[in-house]
Amino acid sequence: MTEGLIPPGKYFMQGNVACVEAALIAGCRFFAGYPITPSSEILQWMSYRLPQVGGHFIQMEDEIASIMAVLGASNAGVKSMTATSGPGFSLMQEGIGFGMMTETPCVIVNVQRGGPSTGIPTLVGQGDVMQARWGSHGDYEAIVYAPNNVQEMFDLTIKAFNASEEYRQPVVLLADQVISHMYGSLTVPPHDEIKIVNRKLPCVPPNIPDFKPFDAKYEVPPMALAGMGYRVHVTGLTHDERGYPYYTHEVSTWCVKHLVSKVRNNAKKIWEVEHFMLEDADIVLISYGITSRSSYQAVKIARSEGIKAGMLRLITLWPFPDEIVKKVSEQAKVIVVPEINMGQIIHPVREVAECLVVGLSWAPGAVPTPDVILDTIRYVSR
Amino acid sequence: MPKEVLATKHPDDELIRTDRMPHIWCPGCGIGIVMKCYIKAIKKSGIPPERHVVVSGIGCSSRLSGYVNIDSYHTTHGRAIPFAIGMNLVKPELEITVIAGDGDLVTIGGNHFMHAIRRNHDINVILINNFIYGMTGGQYGATTPLGSKASSAPYGTIDNPLNIPLLVASLGAPFVARWTTFHVHQLTDAILKAMKINGFAFIEVLSPCPTQYGEDNNFPTGLDMMKYFKKTCVVNHEADLRTVDIDLKSGKPIVVGNFVHKEKPSYNDMERKLIEDAMRERKLHG
């Protein structure tokens, strides 16, 4: 199994390449994608590496086809992934919704660039935070991770695959142009020390009468794959436990509640955050992705000036770690939310925070420097 | 007094989700005939039902996937082909057939359709062409004959329909056929041929939609269009595909047949070799 995978050891590597190597370790053997800056290195490196490990790479005609091919491959039992950026992520939204409704595991890497529209293809943005949560129509619970270094491009790619397999749904790795293009140090642990989750398969034999592919007795139903003999019907329509389209309000209530509760009930297990100098902090930055790297420095300088600053870094953006944010807000005087957008994650922060919440909105195209964040810290500390 | 006979079983029941009957199709619709032919072909194929997969998009024709008792995937509008491609690449032993309508496959899904043929993926595609968007209420599409009335073309359509067999053949598909719901034996035979083809096998099936197309275009019942098919269809396997467009008005012959039947390496063949080479190369050079 480990043949052809990156050997354990220390590396100096680009974020996008680390993401590919991690995906292969996680068991990804299918990639379908379409070229788009700044995610193309993932597509290119996959085209080189996947065939070496016996996997399948295909460059499709667009992002719509890419996500659909990924969902098709996953329904045949192969861990699958695609990578894209802003405009491509927009095109994938219908397919992501289909993946949510049909409970199909897969990973979508969205390397954020400046938006809206074509925006600034080669420069950084964090404008897709809400899209990653709400981009497809209807109700579902997104699982979204935001890496802030090359090591996390690796670690969180594996976690994204694990979560997608565990909860049977598409999971987004929400990177950004700087983290993806950055070269940094990477430690690949021994492969047998890396936790890999595989989807559960039905434990009953095929062709039993009344087999229910979406059996309500499971929080996450085992997945009957194409060709196993279960003769499943899988549809994007609202469906009952048999997978059959069914439109009573009772079935619709079950179907939608099932999709959201499998994530909501396990949110605490999915949450990952980093506490940085928070112990006595009364000015708290809530930060994620590339912006958090400036936030570390801003906190350190503020501390040297005698300001009790700290940072809560969100590694899991969605499901939103509301209880953790609430707790932090109870000891804080002010929360500052720097983002490379006009205010997105600040909204769920405000929803739960017990203190004043101040946004630091920063237009895409550049990372706010520590000075910029520091100015805001100084201002609110007065 | 004639004795009442109640049929409780049908020979095709094993391949039909009988618990989903009655189906949604209108009286006179041809989609059920295509389903029957597909089921007959599955039975004759020699491939066990567990290895057959049907993938569809959205629309009346795409509802077929929900009634056939095999692994069946009812995907998003126009995207059945890329979904089927993903499945086919990782499990080439599956016999995957995409069945969807004209609006789905060649209108909204036209880009995927074209590129799948160009790459020659080993899937079967049955396009049920009823010349109209049925499910959404009779709007015109890329196959609606010029001048037809539609719910979104009250003055008649002014855009030229696609000549689908010509398009598919021009992109190099190894199997291209057209039949109608009148030609059940020929259609079943063509589906069987498609299942045996290595590569993109395509069948266009002309089918009546009395409710949404026929009523406003001089085919008020399904039978009217079936009679028109019977009267005007000409079998010509060697037809010049530039001449096989359809107008449904002038009595111009509708050309049907198995137009292309050839061997050609599929994408899967090329990919298999690519993967073998890449794996060997890696082992040699580390």
Domain boundaries, chain A: 9-189, 274-381
Cβ neighbours of residue B181 closer than 8 Å, sequence gap 6 or more: B30, B33, B34, B187, B205, B206, B207, B208, B226, B229
First to last CA, chain A: 58
- B82 → closest Cβ in A56, A65, A235: A65
Torsions phi, psi for A286 (to 5 deg): -110, 115
Nearest residue to A191 via CA among A337, A53, A33: A53
Topology match between the domains A9-189 and A274-381: yes
Question: With bands split at pLDDT 50, 70 and 90, how would you rate the model's confidence at B286?
Answer: low
Distance between CA atoms of A169 and A102, rounded to whole angstroms? 8
What DSSP line would sit under A219-241, residue for residue?
SS---PPTTSS---EEESS-B-T
A237 CB neighbour count, 10 Å cutoff: 17
Spans of chain A below 70 pLDDT = 1
Distance between CA atoms of A99 and A68, rounded to whole angstroms? 9
Nearest residue to B89 via CA among A65, A333, A161, A224: A65
Q: Give the single-character DSSP code of B132.
A: S
What totals of helices (H) and strands (E) does chain A contain, helices first? 13, 16
Bridge-based pairing of strands A170-176 and A144-145 is parallel
Question: With bands split at pLDDT 50, 70 and 90, how would you rate the model's confidence at B6?
Answer: confident
Q: Which residues pair with B126 in a beta bridge?
A: B99, B203
Q: Which string of b and e fits B151-160 if b means at least 16 CB within 10 Å?
A: eebeeebeee
| CA–CA min distance B65, chain A (Å) | 8
Strand-by-strand arrangement of the B254-261 sheet: A233-235, B71-74, B52-56, B95-101, B124-129, B201-206, B175-180, B254-261, B233-235
A237 part of contact set with chain B, CB < 8 Å: yes
Q: Is the pLDDT of residue B5 over 90?
A: no
Cβ neighbours of residue A202 closer than 8 Å, sequence gap 6 or more: A211, A213, A222, A223, A224, A228, A230
Q: Could you tell me the domains of chain B?
A: 15-285 (3.40.50.970)
Strand runs (DSSP E) across chain A, as ranges? 9-14, 30-33, 56-59, 80-84, 106-114, 120-124, 144-145, 170-176, 183-188, 233-235, 273-276, 283-287, 309-314, 316-318, 334-339, 356-361
Contact A245 B66 (CB under 8 A): yes
Looking at residues B108-131, what average pLDDT do you find?
98
- Nearest-Cα residue of chain A relative to residue B23: A245
- B75 → closest Cβ in A98, A228, A245: A98
The CATH architecture one would assign to domain A274-381 is: 3-Layer(aba) Sandwich (3.40)
Q: Residues of B with CB below 8 A from A229's CB?
A: 50
- A236 → closest Cβ in B53, B76, B277: B76
Distance between CA atoms of B166 and B146, rounded to whole angstroms? 17
A304 CB neighbour count, 10 Å cutoff: 8
Contact A32 B69 (CB under 8 A): no
Specify the range with the lowest mean pLDDT, choosing from A310-324, B1-15, B29-43: B1-15
- Whether A173 and A157 have beta carbons less than 8 Å apart is answered as yes
pLDDT tens figures, A280-328: 999 999 999 999 999 999 999 999 999 999 999 999 999 999 999 999 9
- Determine the 3-state secondary structure of A170 from DSSP: strand
Identify the CATH number of the domain defined by range A9-189: 3.40.50.970
> Looking at the predicted complex, does its ipTM rise above 0.95?
yes
Q: Give the single-character DSSP code of B108.
A: I
A96 part of contact set with chain B, CB < 8 Å: no
Question: With bands split at pLDDT 50, 70 and 90, how would you rate the model's confidence at B2?
Answer: confident
Q: Say what the pLDDT of residue B251 is.
A: 87
Q: Is the pLDDT of residue B88 over 90?
A: yes
| CA–CA min distance B94, chain A (Å) | 7
Q: Say what the pLDDT of residue A210 is.
A: 85
Cis peptide before A170 (omega within 30 of 0): no
Q: Residues of A with CB below 8 A from B20's CB?
A: 244
Torsions phi, psi for A214 (to 5 deg): -120, 45
CB contacts < 8 Å between A and B, how many? 139
Instruction: Enumerate residues 169 to 228 of chain A having a beta carbon within 8 A of any beta carbon in chain B.
Output: 206, 226-228
A138 part of contact set with chain B, CB < 8 Å: no
Nearest residue to B32 via CA among B51, B12, B14, B6: B12
Q: Give the single-character DSSP code of B256.
A: E
Q: Which residue in B21, B56, B83, B97 has the most chain A C-beta atoms within 10 A of its own C-beta, making it the best mutation to test that interface?
A: B83
Looking at residues B114-131, what average pLDDT do you find?
98
Q: What share of chain B is helix, strand, coil (3-state, %, to 5)?
A: 40, 20, 40
Amino acid identity of A278? L
Q: Which residue in B52, B89, B98, B282 has the most chain A C-beta atoms within 10 A of its own C-beta, making it the best mutation to test that interface?
A: B89
Q: What share of chain A is helix, strand, coil (3-state, %, to 5)?
A: 40, 20, 40
Amino acid identity of A137? H
Q: Which residue in A29, A66, A75, A246 has the most chain B C-beta atoms within 10 A of its own C-beta, making it the best mutation to test that interface?
A: A75
Cβ neighbours of residue B216 closer than 8 Å, sequence gap 6 or more: B138, B148, B149, B150
Cβ neighbours of residue B64 closer than 8 Å, sequence gap 6 or more: B31, B34, B35, B38, B54, B56, B99, B128
- Nearest-Cα residue of chain B relative to residue A70: B86
Q: Is the pLDDT of residue B1 over 80?
A: no
Instruction: Enumerate residues 98 to 137 of chain A having a beta carbon within 8 A of any beta carbon in chain B.
Output: 98
Contact B89 A58 (CB under 8 A): yes
Q: Residues of B with CB below 8 A from A68's CB?
A: 75-76, 79, 82-83, 86
Q: Residues of A with CB below 8 A from B281's CB?
A: 52
| CA–CA min distance A313, chain B (Å) | 37
Cis peptide before A319 (omega within 30 of 0): yes
Nearest residue to A277 via CA among A298, A252, A262: A298
Cis peptide before A370 (omega within 30 of 0): no
- B66 → closest Cβ in A51, A80, A235: A235
Q: What is the largest CA-CA distance in chain B?
A: 85
B109 CB neighbour count, 10 Å cutoff: 28
Take residue A185 and report the two structure tokens written for it: 């140090």
Q: Between vectors from CA B77 to CA B71 and to CA B81, what angle results, nearest 5°?
A: 55
